[in-house]
């Protein structure tokens, strides 16, 4: 089967992938269900139309579940700077493992590095030597290995950039290799031979390794068979092929690009606050060369991060995705402690410096740091969230006002987000947006499609920066969760006169470190799949800047239907589509009469129907069945202003109808 995508514009490569998944959309129809009749009336007149916000749907990235370290950030070495064990040496150096035993090698940590914020290095005292008959080294040599984050994905023919710092007053003969998890399969190798002089002060070396095989559970080995003492620091292995060449794992970043997010909220969530102040994400420690970054313990989600994915990289990711960055700043309040009020000015100063880093002149103090990092042009930072969920804290508002006043004085155009909910009454402090987090059961999420119906139309707008069905309904990402969330998002579209932005949470989970369920994208070292909630978001990716049309959907004694109508324009092809979305959250097949009035342009006779459903509400995708619950697209031949369609039980369906008598055809070989 082949689609003529040139005719169909950007509707979209994702849908092409899911087409392959074929006929399972009809599974539900095999089980006879009761039928419910319903009507769906759309007022598509220009008088009733309303333009929806440009940045309505985006993404929220938090360093949770190893989303970044061991995930989106493509660095393969875990604890590359040996700092994870703390500053007091000797320290533990997990997950590095010694190769050899105490009679042939001793491994420990030392505070010996010249890198200012990053002093700990690894010390290998090699006691064996192949030239010494009394203590020869084992045949594979001795040294250390790093398993990465639950195995490194090394692929045949791919090139990996290796950087490491070496110090030794002895001559050395080191082998740096990528191998299988037991060391038996050698995928790539590089040898470093040097006399006593060459590494007598810390020296950075860089080389490429090209793999001759594929193994998704590989490790990096640094071994030798030569007696002497060698210190190692800042050992990095990065795939050379990353998303837009900026260090993001390509498969994962592409999944983000596919849902066309208009904003990227980062770095958390609770991660942005830290459980303890000392462990919070502080942007200044995450910029500059990666070797200089101290890294920090993510004490909210309990793992170390080398901060390869730092402030600069978040801004870069937003730019690469065509999304606006939304920076969640530390407002002085962590989960378990907070700053002494006397320290508040320095926190405010820190944020102003951060804004200068993001968008200041290339010559400015912090703009020049950005420039040195390779980005002289300012990033488009226009949104700042003053914290995450601290509104209930007694110091929140006082702190908030200090940040708000200072930011607005220096950057009047900056949109400031409070985390006090303003949906039920007026806020008692100034803000451009207020943040709302919605975590609830599926049925409650579906009913929350009305959450903003009664909200005042004056005052700051709402930003639902975290929403997800959680608890039993959610499993690890079920169909029912996705359907309930679709209903919720339709309510947000209807209220998008006062609802400015929304994003689901969390975005990613490394399957080896599930801290929070459910998540939109699941991955391990080499594979990835979207949960039904991820695929549900594909139905909303054209809503940004689209034109909303009021509509009513009615079915007697069947409160399980919600719908939404909009027109959107594919700017690449200049084609316009009327998009009708219907969620059927009940068990009946719905015989739906759709009627569109007020259109100023004609509907072409063709169109596309996309459906997300499955045989059970609890159905999930998995590594074994990644496409169990994914959208399935079929062409419809008789589109028009009135249409009778069958809507499957427990489904999300959309109809994309081409407007202005443009030719929409699908060629099937």
**Contact set with ligand AHR (CB under 6 A):** 62, 64, 268-270, 388-389, 437, 466, 505-506, 516
307 vs 466, which CB is nearer to ligand AHR? Answer: 466
Give 65 or 614: the residue with its C-beta nearer to ligand AHR: 65
Distance of closest approach, residue 297 Cβ to ligand AHR, in angstroms: 16
- Cβ at position 35, least distance to ligand AHR in Å: 39
Task: Quote the least distance from Cβ 406 to ligand AHR, whole Å.
Answer: 24
Rounded distance, CA 83 to CA 94, Å?
10
Residue pair 272/330 in contact (Cβ under 8 Å)? The answer is yes
Q: Closest-CB residue for ligand AHR?
A: 269
Question: Tokens standing for 332?
Answer: 């002085």
Q: Considering the complex, what minimum distance in angstroms separates the CB of residue 443 from ligand AHR?
A: 20
What DSSP letter does each residue of 293-352 carry, written as one string? ---EEETTTTEEE--SS-HHHHHHHHHHHT-EEEEEE--SB-SS-B--GGGHHHHHHHHH
Q: Give the residue with the Cβ less far from ligand AHR, 247 or 268.
A: 268
CB of residue 272 to ligand AHR, shortest distance in Å: 8
* Of 514, 84, 62, the residue nearest 314 (C-alpha): 62
DSSP codes of every residue in 191-238: EEEE-TTTTSS-EEEEEEEE-SS-EEEEEEEEEESS-EEEEEEEEEEE
By beta-carbon proximity to ligand AHR, the closer residue of 385 and 525 is 385
Based on CB atoms, which residue is closest to ligand AHR, 144 or 505? 505
Nearest distance from C-beta of residue 386 to ligand AHR, angstroms: 14
Q: Which is nearer to ligand AHR, 215 or 419 (CB)?
A: 419
CB of 465 to ligand AHR, least distance (A): 8
- The nearer residue to ligand AHR, 118 or 389, going by C-beta atoms, is 389
Element (H, E) at 480: helix 479-494
Helices (H), 360-441: 365-372, 396-410
- Taking the least distance from each CB to ligand AHR, the nearer of 62 and 500 is 62
Question: Would you call 607 helix, strand, or coil by DSSP?
Answer: strand
DSSP state of 389: S
User: Quick one: angle between helices 365-372 and 344-359, nearest 10?
Assistant: 50
Instruction: Note whether 155 and 211 are within 8 A (CB).
Output: yes
Closest CA to 658 of 637, 628, 629: 637
Please report how close the Cβ of residue 391 comes to ligand AHR at its closest, in angstroms.
12
383-386 vs 415-418, strand pairing mode? parallel
């Amino acid at each position: 089967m082949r689609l003529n995508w040139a005719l169909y514009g950007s509707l979209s490569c994702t849908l092409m992938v899911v087409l392959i998944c074929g006929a399972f959309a009809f599974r539900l129809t095999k089980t006879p269900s009761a039928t419910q009749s319903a009507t769906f009336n759309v007022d598509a007149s220009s008088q009733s139309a309303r333009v929806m916000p440009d940045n309505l749907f985006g993404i929220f990235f938090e360093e949770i579940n190893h989303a970044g370290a061991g995930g989106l950030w493509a660095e393969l070495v875990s604890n590359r700077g040996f700092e994870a064990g703390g500053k007091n040496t000797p320290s533990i150096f997990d997950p590095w493992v010694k190769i050899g035993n105490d009679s042939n090698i001793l491994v420990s940590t030392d505070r010996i590095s010249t890198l200012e914020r990053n002093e700990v290095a690894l010390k290998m005292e090699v006691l064996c030597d192949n030239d010494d008959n009394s203590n020869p080294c084992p045949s594979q040599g001795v040294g250390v290995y790093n398993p990465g984050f639950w195995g490194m994905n090394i692929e045949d023919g791919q090139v990996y950039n290796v950087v490491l710092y070496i110090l030794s007053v002895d001559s050395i003969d080191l082998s740096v290799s990528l191998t299988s998890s037991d060391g038996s399969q050698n995928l790539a190798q590089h040898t470093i031979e040097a006399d006593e002089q060459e590494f007598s002060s810390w020296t950075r070396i860089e080389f490429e390794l090209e793999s001759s095989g594929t193994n998704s559970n590989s490790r990096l080995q640094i071994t030798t068979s030569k007696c002497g003492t060698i210190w190692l620091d800042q050992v990095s292995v990065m795939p050379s092929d990353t998303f837009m060449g900026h260090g993001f794992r390509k498969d994962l970043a592409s999944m983000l690009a596919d849902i066309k997010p208009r904003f990227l909220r980062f770095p958390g969530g609770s991660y942005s606050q830290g459980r303890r102040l000392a462990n919070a994400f502080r942007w200044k420690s995450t910029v500059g060369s990666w070797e200089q970054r101290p890294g920090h313990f993510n004490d909210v989600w309990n793992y170390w991060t080398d901060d390869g994915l730092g402030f600069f990289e978040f801004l870069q990711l937003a730019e690469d995705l065509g999304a606006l960055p939304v920076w969640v700043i530390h407002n002085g309040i962590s989960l378990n402690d907070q700053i002494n009020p006397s320290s508040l000015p320095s926190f405010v100063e820190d944020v102003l410096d951060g804004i200068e880093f993001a968008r200041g002149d290339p010559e400015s103090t912090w703009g020049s740091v950005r420039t040195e990092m390779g980005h002289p042009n300012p990033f488009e930072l226009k949104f700042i969230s003053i914290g995450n969920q601290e509104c209930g804290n007694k110091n929140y508002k006082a702190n908030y006002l200090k940040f708000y006043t200072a930011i607005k004085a220096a950057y009047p155009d900056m949109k400031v987000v409070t985390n006090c909910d303003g949906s039920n009454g007026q806020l008692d402090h100034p803000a451009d947006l207020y943040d709302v987090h919605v975590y609830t059961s599926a049925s409650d999420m579906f009913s929350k499609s009305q959450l903003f119906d009664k909200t005042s139309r004056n005052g700051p707008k709402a930003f639902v920066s975290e929403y997800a069905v959680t608890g039993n309904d959610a499993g690890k990402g079920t169909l029912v969760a996705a359907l309930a969330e679709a209903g919720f998002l339709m309510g947000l579209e209807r209220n998008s006169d006062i609802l400015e932005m929304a994003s689901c949470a969390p975005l990613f989970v490394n399957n080896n470190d599930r801290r929070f369920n459910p998540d939109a994208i699941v991955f391990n070292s080499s594979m990835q799949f979207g949960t039904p909630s991820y695929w549900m978001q594909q139905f909303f990716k054209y809503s940004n800047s689209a034109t909303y049309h009021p509509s009513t959907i009615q079915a007697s004694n069947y409160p399980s239907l919600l719908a939404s109508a909009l027109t959107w324009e594919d700017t690449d092809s200049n084609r316009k589509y009327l998009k009708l979305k219907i969620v059927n959250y009940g068990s009946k097949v719905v015989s739906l009469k759709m009627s569109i009035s007020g259109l100023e342009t004609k509907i072409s006779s063709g169109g596309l129907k996309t459906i997300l459903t499955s045989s059970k509400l609890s159905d999930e995708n998995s590594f074994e069945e990644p496409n169990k619950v994914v959208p399935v697209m079929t062409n419809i031949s008789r589109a028009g202003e009135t249409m009778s369609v069958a809507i499957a039980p427990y489904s999300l369906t959309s109809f994309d109808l081409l407007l202005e008598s443009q030719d929409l055809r699908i060629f099937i070989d």
